[in-house]
Amino acid sequence: MKTERLIGLLTSGAGPAPRAPVARRLAPVLAAALTASIIASVAVLGLIPPAMWFGAAPWIKLGYAAALGASCAWLLARLACPAAPIGAAPYTLAAAVAAMLLVGAGELALMPPAERYSYMVGHSAARCPWAILALSTPALAGLVWALRGLAPTRLRLAGVCAGLLAGTIGAAGYALSCSEESAAFVAVWYSLGIALCGLLGGALGSRLLRW
């Protein structure tokens, strides 16, 4: 087929370009993945005692997940468009992590030194990152699907970002069933779980996101 004929085929009846395909593709995936993460967390792990909602802990976890998630979603939306400048998203991402680490460190600093370790490790440190990773898998699968219909040109970076975003969705679900009280726990183990998801996304990204 001559290229001129291909151009004729592409342009005839083409109509206007689809509007906001990035938001239209990412938004439903994020909503579905968050729902899946919440349902899996509540059904498999069980909700935290209602009294905990009067304390700060669940809100710190949800707020951290939301701040990271918003930054990652913003960054991913840029990475899905060729030649689009990344903007300030990496800075807001770094700021959210830094703020969480600072709060966690501040909390530990006010503790008697002998209690710091047990406070940071809590009773579920060994489970937390893996639970976040497991709860994030539907989100990662959905985001890979969404990105394959968009146009990421930096595949590994897009994969890492999709993984981190999936991780924040896993973390938001896990926050509903995590009875840990300490901010230091969140700063260490939630961050670790989300980072694991980012690693997984990066490892898969350069292979699965090709187009």
Which residues contact other proteins by CB under 8 A?
1-4, 6-22, 80-85, 150-151, 153, 210-211
Query: 10 or 51: whose CB is closer to other proteins?
Result: 10
Task: State the burial class of residue 184 (Cβ atoms within 10 Å of its Cβ: 0-12, 13-18, 19+).
Answer: buried
Nearer to other proteins, 46 or 87 (CB): 87
Instruction: Return the beta strands (E) in the chain as ranges.
Output: none
> CA-CA distance, 166 to 146, in Å (whole number)?
12
CB 83, min distance to other proteins, A: 4
Report, in Å, the least distance between residue 80 CB and other proteins: 6
DSSP state of 143: H
Report residue 25 CA to chain centroid gap. Answer: 16
Query: Rounded to an integer, what distance in angstroms lies between the CA atom of residue 34 and that of residue 140?
Result: 11
Smallest gap from residue 37 Cβ to other proteins (A): 27
Report, in Å, the least distance between residue 157 CB and other proteins.
Answer: 13
Q: Token pair for residue 37?
A: 């993460």
Nearer residue to other proteins within complex by CB, 46 or 149 = 149
Specify the residue, 8 or 28, whose C-beta has the smaller distance to other proteins. Answer: 8
